[in-house]
Amino acid sequence: MKTDVSKNSANNRIGIGLLGYGTVGKGLESLLTDKASDAFFIAKILRRISKANRSDMVESIEDLLSDPKIEIVVECLGGIEPARTYIIEALKAKKSVVTANKALINRFGDELDTCAKENGVVLRFSAAVGGGIPYLSTLIEVKKHTQISAIGGILNGTSNFILDKMERESCTFEEALSEAQTLGYAEKDPSADILGWDSLNKIRLSGVIAFNTWINIDSIPCTGIDSIQTKDVEFIQSLGYHIRLFATMIKTNLGHSAYVEPQLFNSDNAEATILSNHNIAWFTDMSGKHQALIGQGAGGLPTAGNILRDLYQIKEDAKGMLPEERSLKNIDNNELSHAYLVRTSKSLKSGFLEAITVFKWIQGNRIYRITKNIQVSRFHNLMHQLKQLEPIFYAGIKKKENQ
Ligand code: HSE
């Protein structure tokens, strides 16, 4: 980055314009303050009108972008608008941009990356996946010397916090979600966390980095943990399993397969050991070598840590993160199948479920079933239909490391 030090007041440090002052924005401020950063300082913060109560806080994007001390804009607003418009304005004003906004990069990453290139600046989003884990930057490094064959893991800190807390404390789903919100792990609208959409955005974004391929998001089977109940967790524990929300994308002979769903892991699997708001994000290379990164996947300080990493990358002249060549494809899930655990009420009649059941337990008004292996996309489609009738719960049963 060509830093014009003459325009930076505070000891030649690079001025940051911060958009939003929520959990992550405050996390970045405290990282820069606590570490008394000799490289960056927050010059201005854009806040909502009624909340701009400090002399460094402004209420309009124009006031922030017109500050000549600001060379990099950090977007911590979340959501699509006004984040997208503000980022475009920042890029056109020749400011590089760092964001953790996975939903935005998923929908508008191509447009924003092009805009950055046209204006000779960069767009980085390391914190969009894995909270504080340097997953995307690791995938970029790994790809330089080997091909990646599969990626995946536990990519949502909120749902992991909920499932772990339900397991260890036998609390209700609602109690665990409320605590995750208080701790600043959940999205503004926690539906994205508990319905699997946040994991979906993260695996798809990781996929474009690992495989140069955007998978059509509507073609990826995705189910979350919204219908899980304390009794389900107890039953799963009685079978010797832990439950985690899992996401994966795998290179196949014809394209790429991917899905997001709760899965059961026995204690031989690393996923079973991931507690609290932590994530595990792994990749497998063509030789079958499997490597994983583990760390806090949500929260203000961890996420700000990855943002800070991007700031240093920009200072050191790093490029943007999206690969130059990118294609858009539909999913190819033909090769993927495994067994499922399904909980329904006794009154739900399904000939299909009955036909694929291998084991069945009746507990009061509930029926738990383990199915034979079934193709993932097909199973999700059928369960989606049954979910219209009642809030059934289902989870994949993990067999192999990369499925
Ligand atoms: N809500 C997200 C999570 C934040 O819980 O993982 C980090 O992306």
- On whether both 166 and 56 belong to a single domain, the answer is no
For residue 159, give the ligand 1 atom closest to its CA.
Answer: 5
Same domain (yes/no): 103, 193: no
Residue 8 binned pLDDT confidence (cut-offs 50, 70, 90) = very low
End position of a domain, from candidates 67, 91, 124 = 124
The distance of Cα 152 from the centroid of its chain, to the nearest Å, equals 11
What's the pLDDT at 35?
67
Instruction: Give the C-alpha separation, 12 to 124, whole Å.
Output: 23
pLDDT of residue 402: 47
Cβ of residue 103 lying under 6 Å from some atom of ligand 1: no
Domain count, the chain: 2
Q: pLDDT-based confidence at 401, cuts 50/70/90? A: low
Residues 114 and 261 grouped into a single domain: no
pLDDT at 4: 45
Residues 106 and 144 in one domain: no
In a domain, 267, yes or no: yes
Residue 117 and residue 144 share a domain: no
Distance 155 CA to ligand 1 centre (A): 8
Element (H, E) at 75: strand 70-75
Report the pLDDT value the prediction gives residue 254, as an integer from 0 to 100. 87
Same domain assignment for residues 80 and 192: no
Which residue of 77, 156, 159, 161 sits with most ligand 1 atoms within 8 Å of its CB, as the best mutation to test the pocket? 156
* 24 and 167 assigned to the same domain: no
Q: What is the CATH number of the domain that holds 56?
A: 3.40.50.720
13-57 residue pLDDT tens: 999 999 999 999 999 999 998 766 789 999 999 998 777 789 999
In our burial notation (b when 16+ CB lie closer than 10 A, e otherwise), range 189-221 reads ebebbbbbbbbbbbbbbbbbbbbebbbeeeebb
Q: Is the CB of 180 under 6 A from ligand 1?
A: no
The reply to whether 104 and 155 lie within a common domain is no
pLDDT value at position 49? 73
By DSSP bridging, strand 327-329 and strand 337-345 are unpaired
- Digit-coded pLDDT (tens) for 86-99: 999 999 999 999 99
Domain of 119, in residue numbers:
14-124
Shared domain check, 77 and 35: yes
**Average pLDDT over every residue of 71-98:** 97
Measured N-to-C along each axis, helices 102-118 and 197-211 cross at an angle, to the nearest 10 degrees, of: 40
Same domain, 228 and 269: yes
Residues 267 and 341 in one domain: yes
User: Residue 190, preceding bond cis, omega within 30 degrees?
Assistant: no
Task: Calculate mean pLDDT across residues 295-301.
Answer: 95
Q: Tell me, what's the pLDDT at 36?
A: 65
pLDDT on residue 398 = 76
Is 202 designated active site? Answer: yes
pTM listed for this prediction: 0.95
Which atom belonging to ligand 1 lies closest to the Cα atom of 186? 1
Does residue 106 share a domain with residue 206?
A: no
Last residue of a domain, one of 124, 144, 173: 124
Any idea which of 44-53, 135-144, 333-342, 372-381 has the lowest mean pLDDT?
A: 44-53
